Amino acid sequence: MNQLANTAWVEEAWKKALEKTVVNSERIGAEFPHASQGGKYVLEGANWWTAGFWPGMLWQFYAESGEEGLKNVAERCEERLDEVLDGYLRLDHDLGFMWTLTSVANYKLTGREASRTRALKAANYLSARFNLKGGYIRAWNPWREGENNSGVAIIDCCMNTSLLYWASAETGDPRYRHIADAHMDTVLAHFIRPDGSVYHIVNFDPDTGEVKEKLGGQGYAPESAWSRGAAWAIYGLTLAFHHTGKREYLHAAQRVAHFFLTRLPEDHVPNWDFRAPDEIRDIRDTSAGSCAASGLLLMAQLVEASESHVYRDGALKIMESLYRNYGTWDQPDEQGLLLHGTSNYPENRNIDVPLIYGDFFYVEALARLKEAGPFYWE
């Protein structure tokens, strides 16, 4: 066992999650689960932002276990995504989440040319969302007829830029990483507060690039501290440092990590918003915990050796608590791996339920503890 995982529970946790995922691969198949309600994952269309997490989790387990059944389901999910990549006009910035964990994963593991082509197409569509004046990747398309959200960028997009860094490394064409860098510079300038908390949404004037307003989004309020947003920043900025070597990205990621780690409740699993009012603050978001933990483990590898323990220990505490206090190992009828995720509190959607991205990052963080890569964002 390696230095990071000198505790027996990591192997136990991996084994239990793998067993459950093998059963789930029969129950769920080549579909796109998002949130589990009453024990069963509710399925979304291939166009929904979460479509990559289930196949991504299958690839993570396949890489370590060689279970062919998992690979087959992951490949069928990737093929189903073609209907979106080739025929859907409303693709938004989540192209990074969707094709990094499907086509980049497949290409990294099998060298499949068709997967490389898909991931490069996705990187081109993502690049085309860049707004030159504001230096940001536009988040969404209009949800309703007549809506104009062309000035909106969100913290979640920190994770999407990995696809652009991958595309530049793969093709030798620097344009993709120039766009990724410009977006991440905008994140530093406008999303990260001095105390290390983050804004979810910044709305720019799409013609002049000026900041018009900052919004609460999936957090409680504009000046509150949505924990999954912080997790996206910790992980995404650490990845940007990994890809570029620019220390300002690492330092910002560390600032957010310090904010996050020092706000955790006693059991080390984050509240959905660290600044929500008392009566609703105790609601947890396990997905913020597992995502932050995976990012912190990468950070622990990249910082000076003397600082590494801060991030490694923080991640281990989160992960051990998720395993011992939030897992569904004694609930065979529950498809989700982790209970108590919160997708969107302000819109009253998927509160206190298993979420597929919580499960994905939990498995990915366990794989980091086992040194059982590859890791597709890298």
Catalytic residues: 94, 156
Report in angstroms how near the CB of residue 279 gets to ligand GLY at its nearest: 23
Coil, strand or helix at 55: helix
Report in angstroms how near the CB of residue 349 gets to ligand GLY at its nearest: 9
- Residue number with CB closer to ligand GLY (48 or 88): 48
Q: Which residues contact 13 (CB under 8 A, 6 or more apart)?
A: 319, 323, 327, 366
Report in angstroms how near the CB of residue 287 gets to ligand GLY at its nearest: 8
Is residue 165 a contact point for ligand GLY (CB under 6 A)? no
Of positions 14, 41, 49, 274, contacts ligand GLY by CB under 6 A: 49
Is residue 160 a contact point for ligand GLY (CB under 6 A)? no
| Degrees to nearest 5, angle at CA 191 with 162 and 292 | 55
- Residue number with CB closer to ligand GLY (62 or 229): 229
Per-position x/- string for 189-228, each x denoting binding to ligand GLY as judged by CB under 6 A, each - no binding: -----------------------------x---------x
Is residue 47 a contact point for ligand GLY (CB under 6 A)? no
Of positions 156, 181, 285, 359, contacts ligand GLY by CB under 6 A: 156
Is residue 100 a contact point for ligand GLY (CB under 6 A)? no
Is residue 343 a contact point for ligand GLY (CB under 6 A)? yes
Q: Which position has the token pair 């989440």?
A: 97
- Residue number with CB closer to ligand GLY (156 or 273): 156
Sign for the CA dihedral angle at 376, 131, 190, 278 comes to negative
Q: Could you tell me whether strands 33-37 and 40-43 are parallel, antiparallel, or unpaired per DSSP bridges? A: antiparallel
- Residue number with CB closer to ligand GLY (238 or 343): 343
Q: Where are the alpha helices (DSSP H) in 101-226?
A: 105-110, 113-127, 161-171, 175-190
Report in angstroms how near the CB of residue 3 gets to ligand GLY at its nearest: 32
Residue number with the smallest Cβ distance to ligand GLY: 156
Is residue 294 a contact point for ligand GLY (CB under 6 A)? no
Number of neighbours of residue 264 by Cβ within 10 angstroms: 19
- Residue number with CB closer to ligand GLY (32 or 49): 49
Report which of 243, 250, 247, 56 is spatially closest to residue 162, judged by C-alpha positions. 243
- Residue number with CB closer to ligand GLY (179 or 291): 291
Report in angstroms how near the CB of residue 109 gets to ligand GLY at its nearest: 25
Report in angstroms how near the CB of residue 243 gets to ligand GLY at its nearest: 20
What are phi and psi for residue 268, nearest 5 degrees?
70, 10
Is residue 183 a contact point for ligand GLY (CB under 6 A)? no
In angstroms, the CA 117 to CA 120 distance is 5
Is-contact 318 292, C-beta < 8 A?
yes
**Could you tell me how many residues of this chain bind ligand GLY (CB under 6 A)?**
5
Residue 306 burial (10 A CB sphere; 0-12, 13-18, 19+): exposed
Ordered DSSP codes for 77-104: HHHHTHHHHHH-TT--TTHHHHHIIIII
Coil, strand or helix at 230: helix
Residues of the shown chain interacting with ligand GLY in the complex, contacts defined by CB under 6 A:
49, 156, 218, 228, 343
